Every structure is written in structure tokens, then in C-alpha cells.
Amino acid sequence: MNAPRTDKMKLGAFFHPTGNHVASWLHPQSQIDAGTNFRHYAQLAQTAERAKFDLVFLADSAATRAGKLDTLRHWPQYMVFFDPLTLLAGLAAVTSHIGLVATATTSYNEPYNIARRLAALDHMSGGRAGWNVVTSSNISEAYNFNRDAPLPHGERYERAMEFTDVVKGLLDSWDDDAFIRDRDSAIYFDPDKLHALNHCGKHFQVRGPLNAARPPQGYPVFAQAGVSDTAQDMAARQAEIVFTPLHTLEGAQALYRDLKARAVAYGREPDHIKLMPGLNPVVGRTEAEAEEKHQYLQSLIHPDVGRALLSTAIGEVDLSACKENETLPPPIRAAALATGKTDARHVVDMWERDGLTLRQMYQRFAGARGQRTVKGTPARIADEMETWFRGRGVDGFLVQPPVLPAGLDDFVELVVPELQKRGLFREDYEGTTLRENLGLPRPASQYQRSSP
């Protein structure tokens, strides 16, 4: 039997511009111009930092959302928003401890550019940068980068593995003590402590070295969100945080055990990979208040938006022939499973298992964008989080407030003190870097590791 946990829960805050709920922009307590409002993000990050969150997280897309404009006009997600790494650089200046994690795709970037930006962010923030490594399957992104289609699944992940290896190699270009900066001797750096990468692989040829000093954390904290077997294996090899949708404790415990075991098989410590699934909390001072908040948001979902989001979730399967009060039709089930996508299978399984109508299904899915929703009082939400944490299904949660800033304020004011009272969450930061606060080691340079 596993010993009782003595570590603390980890918390991240995921900032969709107006909130995680698909209809959040229609809520009067959301910041309606969030996609172009830096002060909005600065206030959110400062609120999360006051509550001692480990990190803030920003997603990304290198394309506007594709589809019918008559539908998209009701759904601003990914239509206008800040480049996340640029935004995080701004947030670094108005925060001091909270981690700053952003998505950057390996499909439409080059390792040198990403290594340089991450090094800059880590230096600017004093060691708080994190990188969510993703591969892109969105055809709209492909069209923006000289391609007619995304790379095949296996090739995307193969490229991603080589990409991250190159980034690490570039970040090791300079030894930690390479810069002497001595005016008396007129010596700025030690040439023996500069390393050219000279990488020549299947997808990249990169000479290096990087024109940036080795970051305070050595490497940024690596995050990943995929759920396919290939993605999980990649995560076990290199990810330090795993963000993924999880809806049952049993499923979370199985993934938790599997990821930790795979990490050990790659020679890693199991505690050096943190499983932090998304959590969509709807907080009320009473159960009735929480339910009222949730139902109000659900009532704002436009039917066209609900259908479009659900269609995307099951592999772009056409739902136009499915009626609002109809349960899962066999042809749609077959078409979704035929895509071969793990995410699509999970959504179809939920739809079929719970016998939901189309409207019920898109409301459940759209309301939390496929993540798990927990509604109720602070004690009720803390109970759920504690059960999953103490039951070793998670190491923490990526909190996705349904409406911003109001939902974050509710969670910080009401739930965080309850978690702290139970001894589940920190009262103050353990260190100054993201790695220190997550309990992760600072990796040595590959040149230091290979020296006699």
C-alpha cells in the first residue's frame, strides 16, 4: 500500500481570454475585450500569484478558427488573442514568483527560435519559464505555413522529439560559468565553455551555438498535453508536467501509475513528472448558488457553437443530421471512431455511456471544453480535489475558471483557503524558480554530464 502523501498539491491557472466556458464572453462578469487587453492578463497573473499558484498557462493556435462564419461570430475563441510567449514576457515584469508556461508548436517553429525565446523568458523572469510542447494537427495552421495538410501523427511526434532534443542542446551552448565579464583583463567569456551543437538529424540541421546564456533553470519546465499512447510515451521520456483531460478517479489513477512507471523505465524519478489534469470549478457559497451560476452559463451556449465544438472533438464529424433531442446515432459513432483519434473515442464513450442527447452532450462538453467540471461550495470542491490527490490520481490541477476574472477571484477567495486549511496547498512559495516550487531538479548541461 502507498504511504500517505506528505507533499503539497500543485496548482496551475489556465487563462482562456474570457474564461474556460465556451459562452464566457457573453457573461457580464467577463472581460469582453480580453484578447487585446494586457492589463486584464496582468491582473489575473497577480491574483494567481497572491494565491501562491505554481504557474499560469496559456494555450496557442497559429490560425483563426475555421468553419462557418455565421457560427464563428458567436464564438471568439482563437479569433483574436495575444501571442503567448510575448504576453508572458510582459507578465514577467509584473510578477515575481509565479511560473509562466505557454504552448509553442514543434510543427511550425524552428528549434533555434524557440530556444532563444525560452532562454530570454527564463532570464527575464528570473527562472520561471515553462514550455508546453505540442504538435499541430489543425489543417488551418498548415495552410499558414506552406503546407496543404498537417504532418502525419507519427511524423509529428518524431519531429517533436528531435525538436526538443535540439532545443535542449542549444540551451546548453554556454556553460553556466562561461561569462567572465572582466574589464581588467578585457575577457568577456571563456571560449572553452562555448559549445557548437552541430546537430544533423532527420528533421533538423542546426549548427549553433545559441546567442543566449544558459537559462537560470537550465531548461524551462517541459509540459505536454497529449493522451495518445505515442504522446504518453513522449511525456514519460521528457515532460515534467502533463496536462490532460481526466473524468474519473479510476482513469486518473491508471494514467498516474502508467506515466510514473514509464518515466522510471526511462531512468527518471517518478516524482519528476507531475500529472495536473484540467479542472473547471464552478464555486458558490451554497450548492444552490453554484448550480445557478452553472445553469446560467449553460443557457448562454449558442446551439451552433455547441454543435461545432462537439464536431471538432469527435474528429470533425458532421452533426447536422443529428437532432437536438437525439442520442448518439450509430453512423456518427462509427465516423468518430474511424478517425482513430484517442480524444474522439473518449468523447464518444462518454456520450454513449451516459445516454445523453445531442444538446446534453454539447452542453456538457462545451461548458468545460472537454475538461472535468466540479460544482459546489468551497468545501465540496476541496473534497473532490483532496480525494483525487490523496488517492494518487493527480499531483495537482490546472484550474480553468469558467469566467475571467470573476471565476478566478471566486476560486482564490473561497477554495484556496480551504485547501490551505487542510494542509493540501502551500502558504508561501518554496523558492524563486518554477522548478524549485514544483520540486524539480535543475538539469545539468549535457557537456557537464559527459565530462570525465
**Domain at 107, CATH number:** 3.20.20.30
- 210: pLDDT confidence band, cut at 50, 70 and 90? very high
pLDDT for residue 450: 65
**161, part of any domain:** yes
Pairing of strands 55-58, 99-105: parallel
Percent of the chain with pLDDT over 70: 98
Range of the domain at 57: 10-172+199-286+371-450
DSSP string, 107-147: SSS-HHHHHHHHHHHHHHHTS-EEEEEE----HHHHHTTT-
Instruction: Give the residue, 385 or 312, on which the prediction is more confident.
Output: 385
How confident is the model at residue 451, as a pLDDT?
62
In a domain, 181, yes or no: no
pLDDT reported for residue 313: 84
Question: What's the mean per-residue pLDDT of the chain?
Answer: 93
- Per-residue pLDDT, 440: 98
In a domain, 327, yes or no: no
pLDDT the model gives residue 371: 78
pLDDT (0 to 100) of residue 3: 80
d(CA 416, CA 400): 14
Query: In terms of pLDDT, which residue wins out, 138 or 170?
Result: 170
Residue 194 domain flag: no
Q: Per-residue confidence at 370, pLDDT binned at 50, 70, 90?
A: low
pLDDT tens figures, 307-354: 888 888 888 888 888 888 899 888 888 888 888 777 788 888 888 898
Residue 42 lies in a domain: yes
Instruction: Domain count for the chain, please give it.
Output: 1
How confident is residue 1, by pLDDT bands cut at 50, 70 and 90?
A: very low
- 362 domain residue, yes or no: no
Highest mean pLDDT among 62-76, 162-176, 438-452: 162-176
Q: Identify the sign of the CA torsion 347, 348, 349, 351.
A: positive
- Does any domain span residue 331? no
What is the distance between the alpha carbons of residues 405 and 34, in angstroms, rounded to a whole number? Answer: 10
Residue 337 lies in a domain: no
Instruction: Determine which helix (DSSP H) or strand (DSSP E) holds 99, and give its type and residue range.
Output: strand 99-105
Mean pLDDT of 121-146: 94
Q: How far apart are CA 9 and CA 419, in angstroms?
A: 9
The per-residue pLDDT for range 66-112, each reduced to its tens digit, is 878 888 888 887 888 999 999 999 999 999 999 999 999 999 999 99
Residue count of the chain, please give it.
452
Mean pLDDT for 270-286 is 97
Q: Which one has a higher pLDDT value, 364 or 288? A: 288
Q: Which residue has the higher pLDDT, 321 or 194?
A: 194
Q: Which helix (H) or strand (E) holds 436?
A: helix 434-438
Would you state the pLDDT for residue 409?
Answer: 98
